[in-house]
Structure 1
Amino acid sequence: MIFTEVAPVAEAVHESSINAPAIGVLAFGALVGLLLITYSFRSVGSRH
């Protein structure tokens, strides 16, 4: 009974058109972008 409910979900997960390394690279790029934005506004508080 549990396996009949889990099987369609497992198939949907494996049918992704984007592969895992591409998702990892995009996520890493997004985190680096957020880091750069945070670093660029680091000195705003000390100027005022």
Structure 2
Amino acid sequence: MHTAVQIAETTTEHAAELPFPPIGFGLLAFGTLVAGLLFTFAFRNVNNRHAEVPATHDAGH
């Protein structure tokens, strides 16, 4: 156990460099979620637009 503590004390910790600032991650996530919201919102009334089409079709004409 003592050896493990000595090794842990002598090793240096290297932090990973981020490709862009942390606020960029938040803005990217926010933009992705807004794009998903807009995509979903575009299909909000599809069921009513196709209400005149019968729900079942006869397969054996």
TM-score of Structure 1 vs Structure 2, range by shorter chain:
0.5 to 0.7
Aligned to 1:27: 29
Q: Are 2:42 and 1:40 aligned? A: yes
* RMSD of aligned alpha carbons: 2.1
Segments of 5+ residues of structure 1 without an aligned counterpart are none
SS in 2 for 1:16: coil
CA shift digits 1:8-44 (9 cap, x unpaired)? 5xx22xx112111011001101100110110111101
Q: Number of residue pairs matched?
A: 41
More helix as a share of residues: 1
Normalization by structure 2: what TM-score? 0.54
TM-score of the pair, normalised by structure 1: 0.65
